[in-house]
Chain A
Amino acid sequence: MKLTGAQILFQGMVEEGVEVIFGIPGGSVIPLYDTLPQYPQLRHVLVRHEQGAAHAADGYARATGKVGICLATSGPGATNLVTGLANAFLDSVPMVAITGQVASSFIGKDAFQETDTTGITLPITKHNYLVLDVNHLAGIIKQSFHLARTGRPGPVLIDIPRNIFLEHAEFSYPDQVDLPGYKPILQGHPAQIKKAAKLINEAERPVIIAGRGTIIAQAGAELKYLAETTQTPVVTTLLGIGCFPEHHVLSYGMAGMHGMAYANLAIDKADLIIAVGMRFDDRLTGRISGFAPHARVVHIDIDPAEIGKNVHVDVPIVGDVKMVLQELNKLINSTQRLKWIEQLESWRKEHPSLEIRDSDGLLPQYVVRQIYEATQGDAIIATGVGQHQMWAAQHFYYDKPNSFISSGGLGAMGFGLPAAMGAKIGQPDTTVWCIDGDGGFQMTIQELATIVQENAAVKIAILNNGYLGMVRQWQELFYKRHYVATPISCPDFVKIAEGYCIPGLKITNKKDVIPAIKQAMDHQGPFLIDFMVEPEENVYPMVPPGAGLAELLEQPRKKAKAITDSNKLPVSNI
């Protein structure tokens, strides 16, 4: 059967189970869009900016576990995808991005809307393709989906010149891929697993640090078995949130720069770190030379390049987290660790990181907690990046994987709204809240129009403090309150929402928070609440840049007080 390139692309998507495409048309993809109505099973979501398309595909992928699809035209369409691709790359999100390209005969001639898209996206995609022969297209689509969703997932980009959409080729969708250079290791090495089990069985103060790899591998049950059998406390990375129920007695929450004090102290005093599906990001480890100084390290990850990259590892196990844990769980002994757990519990009491300070003011932490109470945790929370992101990570309790959707590795402000939209489109029956800051919300605010057009009932909570809050916090703590370029004005968000036909409320008093959240939840469609929170509230605990995990600042009564004296902080990655 002969099909056009455009038909082959959509037929391939259908074969791969694609249901939603986030995109915007433009010159070089007009022939592609012309073909789209032939495939009514593919829902097209018309975003307002390509960055929104990529972030929405990302949020969709995280909420559903499926491959997210974004589509853009050549030139500016493709360059606008860049932030979203980098975001998906750093957070290992399965995505296939389609970009149109100028016709083959114009490539390399600086034609109208030509950019070297594969060149630009080379370091921020798992792989990318420039299609120069329509006969190769079906195979490339097959490979792209395979690469995006297997091994360590990531974004794959296919750049397709305009003429390829129009040319014909015999279509048969391959059922196999042939990639000699791509063979993800799934089974962990038995000898290494044995060594790890021995360390776990002999450890006195073990800690599990679980990351997003645990969620990707759907290894929650295996992780729980490991933790419960060996009575090992579990802390998570930011993106690991939800892989282990936060209400579990062995859960000690998120660790790292704004992690729980007790989680960080546990890592600091541990004699064994069992790192599961994570990559020792600097926001997790703090000063690397001070990371887990008493511990040996077992590192389980599917990406061999992550092993030993940041932290010295005693027992590396490359493999699929689920498969490795299944094997490991056969070798572990049932253990009691009363003394160690008691120690952690006393830290939990001495350092109540989730205590919200007494205040008549409208505290952002209080707002997040009330969203938790209203939803009883049965919701997806998507965030932007900054203070609100950390409060959303801290003060909401996540018991399910994929319930916290956030830009971790890239730290891309503007992620919140489009990601929430993608999540809601992927999980229409789940309550989705976008918790965002007033700064980041203005970066992708235009997706309000998409939310309305697609009737995606996203609930939006803006924690509005009139600052680029996280930078302001750093300026306060480390730059002598030198607030340069952080006070930020914003429009009347309720009026903006009204302009998009989204009802909204502006909340300035604590007593109005609960009724406002209820009103938002009771409303059928999207709803926006602009919470005017304490302008100079800080995120605590905080491990200052360059400090070790135990040298953390806690919520001050009046002034920030360090647990240990750490006035002389070395220069670090800012």
Chain B
Amino acid sequence: MTKSMTRKLAAAGLGLIVGLTGMATAQAQSEEAQYLPSLVYRTGPYAPSGVGFADGFSDYVTLVNERDGGINGVPIELEECETAYSNDRGAECYERLKNRGDGDGATVMAPLSTGITYTLIPRTREDNIVLHTMGYGRADAAYGPVMDWVFMVPTTYWSSTTVTMQHIADQEGGWENLEGKTIVHAFHDSAYGREPLEVLRGYAEEYGFTLEEMAISPPGVEQRSVWTQIRRMQPDWISLFGWGVMNPTAIRTANSMGIDVSKIIGGIYAAQDDAVEPAGSAAEGYKAVTFHGPGSDYPVYDDLQEYVYDPGLAAGDGSQQGKIAYNRGLINAAYIIEAWRQAQQEFGEGEVMGREETKWAWNQLTITEERTEELGMKGLMPPVDVTCRDHEGGGLALIQQWNGESWEQVTDFMEPDMERVFPLYRESALEYAESEGVEVKECD
């Protein structure tokens, strides 16, 4: 054997050895902390939507730790894991993080992706971990008696669609004026994009407007032919359920075809800055439904400035502050932390909460408007009232509009049409319960 061959083998083996020695080391901790895993995607095709969320989530946790010393003195230990928005990486992250940290380890997960949510629903059920899916995920999880470990706080695709429709009706001067109109639903050709179809079809039947369903094949880098067709339909309103690069491309293409973008209302995942910024001036006037206030004009930002940004503790490069995704990260962390706070009130202040306690707290999570004001997030985070039956906690959402520079709130938080969506939740959830053998809880 030649010498070079030996070298080749040695080189190949090196990676393995480094790997094995690494396995042995473990992480050390000093004080008892509440462990909070955070599945984020800062890379991959959808990174532009993920970075802001991850930064906001992390910054809020830092704020609570720095300003209050944690939750009643219990610091929060945040650990991020990169999923790149892929299901298998998400599952890997879940398994990697679930037993880290003190006490029971992870007690709540926010997977930040509908696909990962579906993968984690059976796993979190087995592990008794709360799954918080804010707006994304499985809409029928809002029906509490079936999935008592999954929470859709503060809204779902379906509820927010009813808010969109309410806004359209308001703009048209009443539901009766919808008759004979044309509404287009342009959607990401996937399970996600089809979510609101059932709700929209119900409306179309009831109020007599024409619903046109236009699938756009992902990732959606080329949409001319779709929008040429939409233009010919002469729609009165367009609901856009895109994702990632599909949103700005849709808005830009629509605008260049002479479609009035102020008649386009994006779904909750077509409501972020990455949907409008790349579209430039074309997006001016574009509206979208969202479940939180836009912008950074809230007292909590003063605290963030003082305790997080100024001492240089901010996550990321700071470019995301005040953006939609960032605000979503903030309120997601706030809901999780408030749930722990309520758990501590019940089970002992200053202690690390376990999985049972956390789940109990989520099942009764109540955040009043006064409480959001105390948190400095009035108008930023919608108040919620979770009950055993309702895991959405109200489903408030609002309409915002892009003015070319920033998002402006055009309506207050609006109530969804629960009478319309709740039966749909129940029906779908009961089907799930039957096929999965999940016990349906009694709620009084």
A associates with B = no
Give me the interface of B with A, judged by CB distance under 8 Å: none
Give me the interface of A with B, judged by CB distance under 8 Å: none
